[in-house]
Structure 1
Amino acid sequence: MRGSRKMAISIKLLSDDLGYEEARDLCREWLKWHWENYPSDWPVEGNPMEPERFKKVLEDMPNLHARPRGGIFVASIADQPVGCVMYSEQSALVAEFNRMFVSEAGRGHGVGRRLLDAMFNQMIEDGYQMVMFTSAKFLTHAKAMYENVGFTNRPHPEGFPDEWIPYTYCMERSLRD
């Protein structure tokens, strides 16, 4: 898919088992990519990307991001899933997103930005006024993209695991115009 001219990107808000499996497959691809590219980013003990821990999260993904206060989006190019992002309620007016991933086949086509825009629009429809997230410090390329769409640094939320703080950063963005 790389190197081709303008590709048609479709974004869908998931609502069925087939779509959830597409999102799970993308998350599994991300986990594989993560461990191949960043094997020592974090101590093994307590790592949120530990395969068995991650597997349990993927199994419960539809519940964790259930409508009407959450959602899961999948982006496709030529009917091939190439990216995903999901969100849930963090507090009354604040959404939290996570598991954003664009596969190597989808990179360079604006998929990440399109996923974020679709998610922001849905969050606004859902009544949220702010969005926040936590990510790993080693993902510096992702942080630059988030800054480009208006995210700014914020403190870790109350109750965030102390042992994860040295390896993560938190950001937020207003959803108001």
Structure 2
Amino acid sequence: MTRDDITITRAATGEDLNAVRALMGEYLEWHHARYAQFQELIEKYFDHAGFWEEVENLPGDYAPPQGRLLIAHRGADPLGCVALRDLGDGIAEMRRMFVTQRAQGAGVGTLLARRVMMEAKELGYQTMRLDTGWQQREAVQMYERLGFRHIQPYYKAPVALQDSLVFMETSLHG
């Protein structure tokens, strides 16, 4: 698989939204499989986020005009997704970045991140924030390469999760 084989589009049709729902389900399964020793934290994080309600109600907070829900494909095969939502004050949040195992290492995550950052900039956002687990080293390194820096928490996470999350931010006009 090469980057030229990959297309990224806005998830706009019912078929697109169903593909994103399937990817988000796979995202949760991946967390459980990869981080088996952190099951309780995974449950707290996704319960806290209202994950299944969010999935059912897509695009929800990620709907235009201020949000985005993007999906990466290779042909008809969905490979990954990412979402953007408005935090107010010119700040966008990148959420639900996920790349399937079959596409990991092919640059799909970087393509999705760059595209969502570009769309956020075009929407007039000044800053983009995100959170991720400290144990997701590949993701943290990718975000650092894209110009994100570590910041203090920008929302109040449940006490049980506070030491598990990394908060990051980048200027979209730097």
Scaled by the length of structure 2, what TM-score is found?
A: 0.91
Superposed, 1:1-177 pairs within 5 Å as 4=1, 7-41=4-38, 43=40, 47-50=44-47, 53-177=50-174
C-alpha separation in 1, matches of 2:43 and 2:105: 33
Q: CA, structure 1 residues 122+45, in 2 after alignment: closer, same or farther (shift >3 Å)?
A: closer
For 1:35-69, what per-residue CA distance to the aligned partner results, in whole angstroms no more than 9, with x for missing partners? 1111232535961235x943222112311211111
Larger deviation, residues 121-130 vs 36-45: 36-45
How far has the Cα of 1:118 moved from its partner?
A: 1.0
Aligned length: 174
Runs of 4+ deviating beyond 6 Å: none
Secondary structure at the counterpart of residue 119 of structure 2: helix
**Counterpart of 2:87 in structure 1: which amino acid?**
Q
C-alpha separation in 1, matches of 2:19 and 2:135: 26
- Say whether the 8 Å CA contact 2:54–2:60 is kept in structure 1: no
C-alpha separation in 1, matches of 2:155 and 2:102: 37
How far has the Cα of 1:6 moved from its partner?
A: 5.7
For 1:53-91, what per-residue CA distance to the aligned partner results, in whole angstroms no more than 9, with x for missing partners? 432221123112111111100001122000100010012
C-alpha separation in 1, matches of 2:127 and 2:149: 12
How far has the Cα of 1:158 moved from its partner?
A: 4.2
Scaled by the length of structure 1, what TM-score is found?
A: 0.89
C-alpha separation in 2, matches of 1:44 and 1:143: 18
For 1:5-51, what per-residue CA distance to the aligned partner results, in whole angstroms no more than 9, with x for missing partners? 5651100012222111111111111111111111232535961235x
What percent of counterpart residues are identical?
27
C-alpha separation in 1, matches of 2:43 and 2:32: 15
C-alpha separation in 2, matches of 1:32 and 1:101: 11
Q: Which structure is higher in helix share?
A: 2
For 1:133-166, what per-residue CA distance to the aligned partner results, in whole angstroms no more than 9, with x for missing partners? 1111111111011101100000001434333211
